[in-house]
Structure formats: structure tokens, C-alpha cells
Amino acid sequence: MDDLSTVYEWARTETFDEVDLHYCTLLALKILDDSCKMDYDNYNLFISVYDGIVDKNPTPFDKKVHQIIAMSRTDNPIKPKKEYEEVIHNLRVAMMKNMDKPSMKAFKQLVWDNQN
């Protein structure tokens, strides 16, 4: 996929399992919390995937988490509003407790394999 709108459309039409959906949400929180160790281009790539998945109807996600993510975002999609930084951080920490690194890496690889 050569641009963010293409990856967004791919995410809207792709069928993801619950593990992928969990890690997509966790990556969005890590990006917003500035605790993700990827470069700026990958931040935007994974936020576009997150947006594509969340824009599906109906979403299988915990709606409160996604409402908080939506309310926290600014014109810069990878930076939260100052007043949401602590909430985003706490959500990320809570979700990280159940993180399985191989599953997170598998989700990232799925996205990277389908971006071209």
C-alpha cells in the first residue's frame, strides 16, 4: 500500500481476529503515549490501520477505550491532547499487562506484509 488512505481501506475490509484487534488498539495507545519504538512513518501507518478498523460497523472493541482515544486526538493524529495524556498512559499500562510479544509482532508483520 503506497499511501495511508490505501492502508486505511485495507484495514476497513480485512477480517481481523480478536488478538489482532487487541494489538491494534494497544499500538494506538502506545503511539499516543509516545512509548512505541517505531519511526514516524510507522506511527502514521498503524494509526491509519487503527482508524480503518474502528470505522467498521459494528466494532468489536470496548467502546469506552475507543471513545477516549477519539477524544484525546488532536489535528496531529499521533499526539494526544495534554489533558488526556495520563488517561492514555494508564489505559496503555493496563492493556500491556496481557501483552504477548509474539502476537504483537505477528500483527505488525501482517500490516507490513499488506502495505505494498
User: What is residue 1's predicted lDDT score, i.e. its pLDDT?
Assistant: 45
Residues of the chain with confidence (pLDDT) below 50: 1
Q: How far is CA 5 from CA 9, 10, 52, 57, 114, in A?
A: 6, 9, 9, 18, 13
The confidence score (pLDDT) of residue 57 equals 62
Return the pLDDT at 75.
85
Q: Is pTM, for the whole model, over 0.85?
A: yes
Which residues are CB-contacts of 5 (< 8 A; sequence separation ≥ 6)? 48
Parse the chain into domains and list their residue ranges: 4-111
81's grid cell = 491532547
Distance CA 56, CA 22 (A): 15
Q: What is the pLDDT of residue 86?
A: 96
